[in-house]
Amino acid sequence: MTAFIVSVLFLLPLTMADITPGCKIRFTSRGLEMLKYETQKFVEEELSNITMPEMKGKEGRFQYTINNVKITELNLTHVDLRFQPDLGLLFEVENSSITLNFQRRILYWFFFDVGSINASAEGVNIHTALNLIRDDMGRLKISNITCDAYITKMKAKFSGTLGRVYDFIATFLTTGMRFLLNQQICPSMDRAGLVLINSLLETIPVRSEVDSYIGIDYSLLQDPVVTESSLDMDFRGMFYELKNENETLPNNAVNPIMTEYDKMVYLALSEYFFDSGLDAYFKAEMFKTEISNGRMSKDMEMLLKTTYFATIMMLNPALMEAPLSLELETTSPPRCTIKSSGASVSVNAIVNVLVLPPGQDPVQLSSMTMETKFNAKVSMKGKRLTVHMDLRRFKIFSNKSALESLALIPLQGPLKTMLQISVVPLINNYTKRGVQIPLAEGMDFIEEVVTYHNGYIVIGADLHFTTGLREVIQSKMEGESANAV
């Protein structure tokens, strides 16, 4: 019976939370402190757009109408943005003030008067809690907002011919205005979070194309983990071939560990992250190239002809005048190894030596195995991850015999030099484009520090806002409107 239960458990499908992340991001309290300024600006803009309904009423022999309410000034003096453990974020405004202006029309007996009223709301307090979750698409999302807002007191000053006469009804009017303003603050905060901030979070890539061959999956594996000092997110961090989007690569790498809080943000990437990219490119048949004509030096061509002189003469002496070609193709996906000393990529490939007689099919002279190891230097540019490769070790040997392998020894140095000159620059020119990390538009990494650990790397950085929250959200919504048309 026990064996049956164990067998059933092994057959059960893994949940997303059971998958080891290939990518992790931690936002610290320092990062939240910087975000607070942008959030305050954003909230001020939202509250400035509050619209209030027309007020009509009667008090004794007074009949009044209040309309065209405008917020003319916001003074949010005590603002706090902090992590709320096991929930998300808490945004608080305390002891702040709002200045308003609105128009009045008042009828008293046969006297009719119009004018403006300047009012100030003091002791403005707003407490907003944002619940952050992973939605069904694997995206970070605000699922719920709890808001509590109240105004301690409100003052009004009348202008116009009978301004002083109407001061005695100021208490009555401001009580109504305070009630209405209280009713408008939380709906405005709800819209700011559930609609606008969620629109900003939608700019974080979940599944997107890297180029015309592969894509990247940054879906969240579970709800973010929120403590008093950080917000941690686990992402799948897996590349995939675009022709086989649903194919996954098992993650047997170590789970990255982040222990620091000094920087604003930390990005951790395991060997799996890089291996999945190498695997996806291998499946897309990107790891093969041909070196011939202008890409092969005359000295290299002469050395190859000298090495394979006997073979060429046995096939056809006329082939000595034909150009040569080298075909390189990996035999298996390259593999990334990360240690505390740095990162490297191991590549195994087949090298075919071909002679290209004019107007005829290529003739293969030899086939050899190539084993190479590249040093890989990881860096960040804005929000794009880049890798610079440098050839570290190179070895070739024959697939046929040890004797032929000995004959290939003179080719080791020249072939390594040729790879450094012809192939490595092509690789670096491609990888310098980088791949975007799961960070919202308008934010970039600056002052990055890369540390290498056994099985993963951690990049600590500060954040820089290249665009304000309002501008990013507006651009996003305008783009959606244009696509809809």
Structure confidence at residue 150 (pLDDT):
87
Q: pLDDT 10s digit of each residue in the chain, 485 long?
A: 444 444 444 444 455 667 899 999 999 999 999 888 888 888 888 888 887 777 777 766 777 777 788 888 888 888 999 999 999 999 999 999 988 888 877 776 666 777 777 888 889 999 999 999 999 999 999 999 999 988 888 887 765 555 555 565 666 667 777 777 888 888 888 988 888 888 889 999 999 999 999 999 999 999 999 999 999 999 999 999 999 999 999 999 999 999 999 999 999 999 999 999 999 999 999 999 888 877 778 888 888 888 877 777 777 888 888 888 889 999 999 999 999 999 999 999 999 988 888 888 888 888 889 999 999 999 998 899 999 999 999 998 887 777 777 777 888 888 888 888 888 998 999 999 999 999 998 899 999 999 999 999 999 999 998 888 888 888 877 766 666 65
Record the tokens describing residue 146, joined without a space: 């709890």
Distance CA 235, CA 138 (A): 9
Name the CA radius of gyration of the chain, rounded: 34
Q: Which among 6, 198, 241, 203 has a CA at the least distance from the CA of 88? A: 198
Q: Which among 125, 124, 121 has a CA at the least distance from the CA of 154? A: 121
Distance CA 218, CA 212 (A): 18
Residue 234 host element (H or E):
strand 230-235
For residue 265, the Cα-to-chain-centroid distance in whole angstroms is 12
Distance CA 387, CA 265 (A): 20
Which residue do the tokens 């192939």 mark? 423
Distance CA 257, CA 260 (A): 10
Q: Which among 207, 199, 265 has a CA at the least distance from the CA of 472? A: 199
DSSP code string of 110-129 = TEEEEEEEEEEEEEEEEEEE
DSSP 8-state secondary structure symbol assigned to residue 220:
B
Distance CA 203, CA 438 (A): 9
Distance CA 83, CA 32 (A): 8
Structure confidence at residue 254 (pLDDT):
94
Residues of the chain with CATH 3.15.20.10: 287-437
Q: Which among 259, 268, 182 has a CA at the least distance from the CA of 457? A: 268
Structure confidence at residue 7 (pLDDT):
46
User: For the domain 29-204, what is the CATH superfamily, name and number?
Assistant: Bactericidal permeability-increasing protein; domain 1 (3.15.10.10)
Structure confidence at residue 422 (pLDDT):
83
Residues of the chain with CATH 3.15.10.10: 29-204
Domain 287-437 has CATH 3.60.20.10: no
For the sheet with 238-241, list strands across it: 207-209, 214-217, 238-241
